[in-house]
């Protein structure tokens, strides 16, 4: 399945609206996990599969030829996001010369295909319904805000202050651990400029921001 344009991809994605994950799994002869505790990325990977995304775990948009990133978004029955949205790893080394304009975060967020899923915890996985997918691009104001959050983080990282940085920083983009567990370590710049070991971090979109995206789209 190759999509010629973002609109064609959107049209195809919207053809799945209203179906439950159980119905879609039956159609593709996939097994629905009974719980997501040990399959946390399953919903996103299933949607990638049926929509024909091919980037795998490369640090680039899911549909590189379209410049479109696919994101599932768990929502409650009122359409409110239930979780933050992971965007990308926070670069901690060799960040001299790294700018917003050539960042992975920007490349992914410049064009997103959101696929909301009604996914309150009390709903069995197989009964969770795909809501209406939509394409989203940040306004210039939104991009400025994203850029500001991104640059604020990179300043701290470049100053060797990664350990002082926590999830409270950032109006839209926040930084949180992104690791197998709290003992995972990666290289970063230390306070004195030497290399230190620290917990890998990721950029996440706050739920309040994705809530605004939903409201803009659906009123």
Strands 69-75 and 112-118: parallel
Other beta carbons less than 10 A from residue 183's beta carbon: 7
Residue 125 near residue 33 (C-beta atoms within 8 A): yes
Helices (H) and strands (E) in the chain, counts: 6, 9
Residues 125-164 that bind DNA (CB under 7 A): none
Among 20, 25, 88, 116, indicate the residue that binds DNA (CB under 7 A): 88
**Contact at 8 Å (CB) between 25 and 125?**
no
Binding of DNA by 56 (CB under 7 A):
yes
Q: Which range binds DNA by CB under 7 A, 1-9, 115-123, 139-147, 152-160?
A: 115-123
From 119, 131, 153, 214, residue interacting with DNA (rule: CB under 7 A): 119
Work out whether 55 is an interface residue with DNA (CB under 7 A). yes
Binding to DNA by residue 200, rule CB under 7 A? yes
Sheet strands (E) in the chain = 69-75, 85-89, 112-118, 129-130, 134-136, 173-177, 186-189, 195-198, 201-205
Window of 4-12, 77-85, 95-103, 140-148 that interacts with DNA by CB under 7 A: 77-85
What minimum distance in Å lies between the beta carbon of 67 and DNA? 13
Which residues are at the interface with DNA (CB under 7 A)? 35-41, 43-45, 47-48, 55-59, 62, 69-72, 74, 82-86, 88-89, 91, 104, 117, 119, 121, 166-168, 174, 176-187, 199-200, 202, 206-208
């Amino acid at each position: 399945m190759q999509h010629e344009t973002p609109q064609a991809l959107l049209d195809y994605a919207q053809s799945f609206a209203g179906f439950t994950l159980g119905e879609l799994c039956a159609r593709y002869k996939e097994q629905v996990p009974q719980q997501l505790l040990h399959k946390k990325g399953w919903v996103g990977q299933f949607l990638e599969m049926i929509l024909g995304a091919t980037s795998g775990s490369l640090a680039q948009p899911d549909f590189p030829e379209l410049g479109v990133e696919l994101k599932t978004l768990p929502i409650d029955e009122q359409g409110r996001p239930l979780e933050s949205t992971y965007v990308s790893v926070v670069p901690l080394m060799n960040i001299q010369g790294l700018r917003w304009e050539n960042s992975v975060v920007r490349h992914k967020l410049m064009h997103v295909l959101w696929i909301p899923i009604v996914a309150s915890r009390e709903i069995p996985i197989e009964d969770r319904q795909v809501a209406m997918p939509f394409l989203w691009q940040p306004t210039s104001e939104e991009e400025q805000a994203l850029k500001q959050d991104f640059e604020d983080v990179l300043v701290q990282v470049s100053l060797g202050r990664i350990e002082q940085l926590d999830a409270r920083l950032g109006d839209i983009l926040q930084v949180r651990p992104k690791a197998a567990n709290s003992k995972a370590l990666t290289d970063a710049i230390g306070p004195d400029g030497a290399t230190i070991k620290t917990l890998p971090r990721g950029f996440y979109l706050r739920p309040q921001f994705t809530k605004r995206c939903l409201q803009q789209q659906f009123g």
